[in-house]
């Protein structure tokens, strides 16, 4: 079955440490996204990528970095510069065509919950 | 800036009744509105999309309306079941495919 796989499901970060969250999709989607979800708040966009080797900052990119070397993979690194990293992180993907961009549903993984030690 | 708002208070409803959720947006009408379901500890799952020029969209027991005059979308679950208990998110899409989400409304269906 096609889908998005996020790993690990739970992750703990020590002070001053960078951690990387994995996101892999086998849906052959061009676009991929990273969101952060905090209790009582909507999902907030961290980074997105519409094509391999290209990505753009979302609304809350500070303290995060990404790469898009392969179509299937879009890892997110939470750096030590992110002072409040405790949250539920969600990766998503969508197909993208010139005519219908904006109308495509997003497919989500089951998230990684990051906590501070 | 554009905002999208959902009722933060949980909706408690009896099995068999219709649940109605509200999604309000400010300023301009988005080209598309999407609705998702999210269960605890899981990622959102896409349910329905409605375009700006559509008044209503249906899928099985689900119905979405889009009123550009009121700047509002309504999401209905008819003949609700306990399995419908979840948080429902609305989101508007921009021309780049980016989604802006509301905080979601929790629905609790009791037998």
Residue B83 is predicted with a pLDDT of 98
**Distance (Å, rounded) from C-alpha A56 to C-alpha A50?**
9
Residue B29 is predicted with a pLDDT of 75
Q: Does residue B95 register a pLDDT over 70? A: no
Distance from CA of A64 to the nearest CA of B (A): 18
Distance from CA of B53 to the nearest CA of A (A): 13
Q: In B, what residues contact A, Cβ < 8 A?
A: 4, 8, 31-32, 34, 41-46, 49, 51, 89, 91, 93-104
* Interchain CB contact of A108 with B (< 8 Å): yes
From the list A32, A66, A76, the residue with the least C-alpha distance to A51 is A32
- The strand pairing partners of B108, in sequence order, are B12
* Interchain CB contact of A61 with B (< 8 Å): no
* Interchain CB contact of A47 with B (< 8 Å): no
* Interchain CB contact of A4 with B (< 8 Å): yes
Residue B98 CA from chain centroid, whole number: 17
How would residue A97 be classed by pLDDT, with cut points 50, 70 and 90?
A: low
pLDDT digits (tens, 9 = 90+) for A22-64: 999 999 999 999 999 998 888 999 999 989 999 999 999 999 9
What's the whole-number mean pLDDT along residues A82-89?
Answer: 93
- The strand pairing partners of A22, in sequence order, are A7
From the list A35, A25, A42, A7, the residue with the least C-alpha distance to A96 is A25
Percent of chain B whose pLDDT exceeds 90: 71
Q: What is the mean pLDDT of chain B?
A: 92
Tell me if A90 and B44 make a contact (CB, 8 A cut-off).
yes
User: For chains A and B, what is the number of CB pairs under 8 angstroms?
Assistant: 69
* Interchain CB contact of A101 with B (< 8 Å): yes
From the list A71, A87, A69, A57, the residue with the least C-alpha distance to A27 is A71
Tell me if B96 and A50 make a contact (CB, 8 A cut-off).
yes
Interface-testing mutation among A43, A48, A50, with chain B (most B C-beta atoms within 10 A): A43
For A111, residues 6+ apart whose C-beta sits below 8 A from its C-beta are: A6, A9, A37, A88, A89, A90, A91, B41, B42, B43
- The residue among A2 and A81 whose pLDDT is bigger is A81
- The residue among B50 and A97 whose pLDDT is bigger is B50
Q: Does residue B64 register a pLDDT over 80? A: yes
pLDDT digits (tens, 9 = 90+) for B9-63: 999 999 999 999 999 988 777 878 999 999 999 999 999 999 888 989 999 999 9
């Amino acid at each position: 079955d096609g889908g998005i796989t996020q790993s690990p499901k739970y992750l703990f970060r020590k002070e001053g440490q960078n951690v990387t969250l994995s996101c892999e999709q086998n849906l052959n989607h061009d676009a991929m996204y990273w969101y952060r979800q905090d209790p009582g708040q909507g999902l907030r966009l961290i980074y997105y990528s519409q094509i391999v080797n290209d990505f753009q900052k979302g609304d809350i990119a500070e303290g995060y970095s990404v790469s898009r070397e392969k179509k299937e993979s879009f890892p997110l690194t939470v750096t030590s510069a992110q002072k409040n990293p405790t949250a539920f992180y969600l990766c998503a993907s969508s197909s993208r065509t010139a005519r219908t961009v904006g109308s495509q549903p997003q497919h989500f993984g089951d998230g990684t919950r990051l906590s501070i030690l | 800036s554009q905002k999208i708002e959902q009722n933060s208070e949980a909706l408690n409803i009896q099995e068999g009744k219709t649940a109605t959720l509200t999604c309000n947006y400010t300023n301009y009408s988005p080209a598309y509105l999407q609705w998702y379901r999210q269960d605890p500890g899981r990622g959102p799952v896409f349910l329905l999309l409605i375009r700006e020029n559509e008044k209503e969209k249906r899928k099985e027991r689900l119905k979405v309306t889009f009123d550009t005059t009121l700047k509002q979308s309504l999401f209905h679950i008819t003949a609700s079941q306990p399995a419908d208990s979840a948080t429902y998110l609305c989101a508007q899409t921009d021309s780049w495919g980016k989604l802006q989400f509301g905080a979601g409304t929790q629905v609790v269906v009791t037998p």
